[in-house]
Amino acid sequence: MTSLFENTDNDDILALQPRLTDDDAGVRRIALIELADLEEPEGLLWLVDRLAHDPSAEVRAEAARLLEAWEDAPVVAALCEALTDPSPSVQAAAAQSLSLLKSEAAGRVILPWTVHVDADVRVAAFRALRELRLGDAAPAAVAALADHDAGVRREAVGVLGWLKHLDALPALARLASDDPESEVRRAATGALGLASDAQVLPALRQALRDPAWTVREEAATTLGKVGHTDAGPALIEALADDYWQVRLRATRSLGRLRYAPALAALIETLAHRISNLRKEAALALGELNDPDAIPALQAAQDDGDPEVRKAVRIALGQLQ
């Protein structure tokens, strides 16, 4: 791309020409970094060209990283194309740069790549779209819930969650219950938290019995977010889960729901050997606003963990 240097009178860019065209890939890579620091549109042309055509994967990957701050359509298109680069390091750098984009205009360039034949490309495209909240991405994400690749399904769930796409709730509920991959079930379970009514409770109760503890943990958290006291009995049952992480989230959600029938179970949890659980139990008891919790909290004032003692003081302050 010698025309870049033929058509520019920018002395800083011209000074870099020998190193940008050096036979040594390491020299070219450092020169690219210096070129990007100039933040000149002419330099941008060279970065895009090197991303596509430099013979060194090391240089192409550096170009992909350096293009993360640019949201011009040609740059976004070049990064999308780089997702198909033969080098995994270039693919990863391009995917990372795409994930940092913030504009809806960039999202529209990325959207067609969600149906690319390569599953890794589809994953990267949906991941880049997730935080852009591009409404046009919803139909593609809903369709991708049936993708044969688990990574694509997981990222599609993320897009729908960020969009708060309520029409997808039935499909997300099915995924939370039936998907063969635990990471997809976990993501779908978390996405059900965008619901504001009880329609998702059956799926979340089932998720609380999932074989994977990470799914159960997510279900316990999401039940607190949905905010229906009908979730209370299932959350009390989850206080006996084999994994303390699930118990902790269930404890926190019971406090969030202010579920009064959980008093006895939370008092029992206040004596658990794991201090994080004792802390959450104390805080949850304070949220119940039930004076019957005061004796148990007073007995815990001398707990060996300072965080637990602090939580107990907060809870007693709420109740007294």
- 182-201 per-position pLDDT tens digit: 999 999 999 999 887 789 99
Confidence (pLDDT) at 9: 72
- The residues, ordered by sequence, that sit 6+ positions from 157 with a Cβ below 8 Å of its Cβ are 141, 145, 172, 175, 184, 187, 188, 191
User: Mind listing the pLDDT tens digit for each residue in 87-140?
Assistant: 999 999 999 999 999 999 999 999 999 999 999 999 999 999 998 989 999 999
Whether the per-residue pLDDT at 19 is higher than 80: the answer is yes
Distance CA 67, CA 75 (A): 7
Confidence (pLDDT) at 301: 95
First to last CA, the chain: 76
Whether the per-residue pLDDT at 7 is higher than 80: the answer is no
Confidence label for 3 from pLDDT (cuts 50, 70 and 90): low
Instruction: Give yes or no for a contact between 86 and 104, defined as CB atoms under 8 angstroms apart.
Output: no
Instruction: Give yes or no for a contact between 226 and 200, defined as CB atoms under 8 angstroms apart.
Output: yes
Closest CA to 99 of 48, 61, 155, 144: 155
Confidence (pLDDT) at 222: 97
Confidence (pLDDT) at 5: 64
Confidence (pLDDT) at 41: 81
Distance CA 221, CA 216 (A): 9
Report the alpha-carbon angle 29-31-36, nearest 5: 95
Lowest mean pLDDT among 43-47, 58-62, 293-297: 43-47
User: Mind listing the pLDDT tens digit for each residue in 253-290?
Assistant: 999 999 999 999 999 999 999 999 999 999 999 999 99
Tell me the mean pLDDT in the region 216-235: 95
Confidence label for 28 from pLDDT (cuts 50, 70 and 90): very high
Whether the per-residue pLDDT at 2 is higher than 90: the answer is no
The residue to which tokens 């059956």 are assigned: 202
Helices (runs of H) and strands (runs of E) counted in the chain: 21, 0
The residue to which tokens 């959350």 are assigned: 235
- The residues, ordered by sequence, that sit 6+ positions from 136 with a Cβ below 8 Å of its Cβ are 107, 108, 111
Whether the per-residue pLDDT at 1 is higher than 60: the answer is no
Confidence label for 293 from pLDDT (cuts 50, 70 and 90): very high
Confidence (pLDDT) at 287: 96
Instruction: Give yes or no for a contact between 286 and 252, defined as CB atoms under 8 angstroms apart.
Output: no
